[in-house]
Homo-oligomer: A and B are copies of this chain.
Amino acid sequence: MELYDGALDVKAIFGRWLDENHQSNYGAYIPFIGIIREEGGIEALSFDIYEPILRAWFEGWEARAVERGAIVKFAHAIGDVPVHTSSYISAVFSPQRRVALELIDLFVEDFKANAPIWKYDVIGGKRIYAEDRSTPMAGAGVLGE
């Protein structure tokens, strides 16, 4: 788990993860690179993160990956990330192709749904919560009604 102020250095992170696992005898390495799209007049997206719960969420995933002989990695940006740059990289290393393909899908989707990260559009220097793209976390609403 790696958190950075602003846009990620995609090539450096990709290459370092590759090098770190050079002798690990994994047969498949699948990174997912999330890049900020230029749309809706935004100049950047911006992110808040709550680190203690993000760490606990990720530790749960590390344990699930180990059960399948794999490892998971991720890096995410904090604060503003300009369009056409990267805010997010996840990756799976696994001995087997199938495990890697299945895990990257589950991992990326669960990240989207349950990692404690809040997204804002940055338009004209203003930070606007991306309410329409945000979803309640699993178990949300305990304090409702």
Interface of A with B (CB < 8 Å)? 10-11, 14-15, 18, 22-23, 25-39, 84, 95, 97, 100-101, 104-105, 108-109, 112
Q: Is B104 touching A108 in the complex (CB atoms < 8 A)?
A: no
Residue of chain B at shortest CB distance from A18: B10
Question: Copy number of this protein in the oligomer?
Answer: 2
- The prevalent SS among residues of A at the interface is mixed
> Which of B14, B100, B101 is close to A11, meaning CB atoms less than 8 Å apart?
B14
Residue of chain B at shortest CB distance from A83: B25
Chain B residues with CB below 8 A from A25, complex form = 37-39, 84
A97-B112, A105-B101, A108-B97 known; A37 vs B27 contact (CB < 8 Å): yes
- In the docked arrangement, what's the CA distance between A33 and B94, Å? 11
Most-contacted residue by chain B among A35, A101, A104 (CB, 10 A)? A35
Most-contacted residue by chain B among A15, A26, A37, A95 (CB, 10 A)? A37
